[in-house]
Structure 1
Amino acid sequence: MHAFAKIQAVEYHLPASILSNKELAGVFQEWSAEKILEKTGVYERHIAADGETAADLAYLAANKLFDSNNIEKSGIDFLIFCSQTPDYFLPSSACLLQDRLNLPTSCAALDINIGCSGYVYGLSLSKGLIETGIAKNVLLLTADTYSKLIHPKDRSVRTLFGDGAAATLISSVESLNSKLGPFVLGTNGAGAKNLIVPSGGFRERHRLEATAEYTDESGNTRSKVNLFMDGPEVMNFTLSSVPKVFRQLLESAGKTIDEVDHVIFHQANQFMLEALRRKIKIPPEKFIIEMDTVGNTVSSTIPIAIARAKKSGQIKAGDTALLLGFGVGYSWGGTIAELF
């Protein structure tokens, strides 16, 4: 018997405010509510309130995890917070969450900023911490509030992204077999410019001129302090990279698709997901899509999909799932996990 990392529980939290396709169609009158659904697979998305941050959402998701699974906070010895919308440049939001959640001061805490593949990266870090004996119970929190980065007149991203958070407990279990892994991770920073907020960091500090608005040839309005996404380039990256990672992961695990119960990709948009499923030839009954009422929640899409599929009975304890995140960076990460 050996100590292996295993996903024990997953919960999520969404902000109260809901932005529907009907409301968006009132802003972008050239797109009907039905056309937005057709292009994104999203009916509605949740939007954080003014003054409500990703850390606030993560705090609520963590408390749901503790309460619904009878988890003792005193046993958490590592906290990882994955977000691209932290409370501050410094200190790290993970440190603030350790105190706010009343976790022991012996609990290490750190932030990671990785975006769409962040959940799988967080799982890889958790596995390393647990299987080298550094930690026994890792609390992985993912949360983003991209809505605060999006210009209200940018149709290309406002129709797609929603805010949300997820909390996952990864623990050490005694077993003969690994419960999490292998991992395939990678990066191509040459694509960074295609999904970016250009101004506001230390490469280009906030200046008045950075807030000047412009409208692109597709009619999307934004400034340099807003999120920019080159949709066609991101789509090209996804369709060329994800099938390769998928094959590498199965080969590394020594498995075929028949030996995996579920496939859960980053819930980028339904059109893209269906294109990937057809290209890779994934059986539709194995392929989980759970984004119609939440949208693309960035680092939380995979754990939210896991939690929702478990609640509906689609995922059962002991099932194996191939998890694959991809996007901003560009970065990607895949793993195979035994769930619960």
Structure 2
Amino acid sequence: MKGLRRTHYCGEVPETEQEVVVCGFADRVRDMGNLIFINLRDRTGLVQLAFNDETDRAVFEKAQLVKSEYVLMAKGMVRPRESVNEKLKTGKIEVAVTDLRILSKAETTPFEVTNSDKVNDELKLKYRYLDLRNPKLQKNIITRHKIAQITREYFYDNGFLEIETPMMMKSTPEGARDYLVPSRVHAGKFYALPQSPQIYKQLLMISGYDRYIQLARCFRDEDLRADRQPEFTQIDLEMSFVDQEDIQACIEGYIEKLFKEILGVEVTLPLPRLTFADAMSRYGSDKPDTRFGMEIQDITDTVKDIDFVVFKSAIEAGGSVRAINVKGGAAIYTRKEIDKLVEHAKGIGAKGLAYI
């Protein structure tokens, strides 16, 4: 195999009769005496390597030495498989190996790579290089790459310039604490890592770079929450000489392209729009989950003439009376459960909770 290089990825081996060279990890080895099958895995998928009585004896004996996660290079002819596997892209073919090279041996792994999602996080992080071989994680990383590629292509086509901004900067007021980097040259002084490129993109706007895009790394020293982490990447952009409609149309076009090329989903434009006032009125939140069916209902006109002092005093003070209609709730909620809801309402600042 001297002088050869990989001619195909494992998951992209053609179905026609031709000679290929593939490289990857031994995913599964089945030694049945006079037959050996090895599933070879790389980031594109799997292909089956086949060894039988017609295989050169030295090659067959080398295949007998292969264990899980060995790194292999194999040369052979592509041929139809006797037992088709419809779950694989290459499930209709196999490679009848004529030459085999063991590029690197492997010790027994602490967990099965393809099932690493069932292993505890501490063990996975200790052997992160093994965990990252898991096809599910590789798919996530490849998808992230495709998103970055599509993002750049879309905004380039719409006249945006990709401009890098400094990673070490003067500390500026933001939403969290800064990560600080001590300066060797200026004793006692510190640089801050950017929470976002806010100042730089505003400088670019007033400098005449009217459309800016960057896949920016951001750093925020704040406590971990479901939607917070110390460092992240955001799609950061700025536009000059535009109005609200221009911005919404630009971003909607990007969402449409992204969903179509990544997920194969057709997005109907324009996207549904909700004003801040409507969002607060219907959901009580400026970032609502619109799938939530129990919207807030304004019943002020319905109860304005009743003598219930709580409602009456609120309306007389210029307020309103609003309710959530829990359909079927009367048959489900007990008095004890309703009392818990009343206490919860008090705990988040309300004076109480009326119910009918």
When normalised by structure 2's length, the TM-score is 0.22
When normalised by structure 1's length, the TM-score is 0.23
Higher helix share: 1
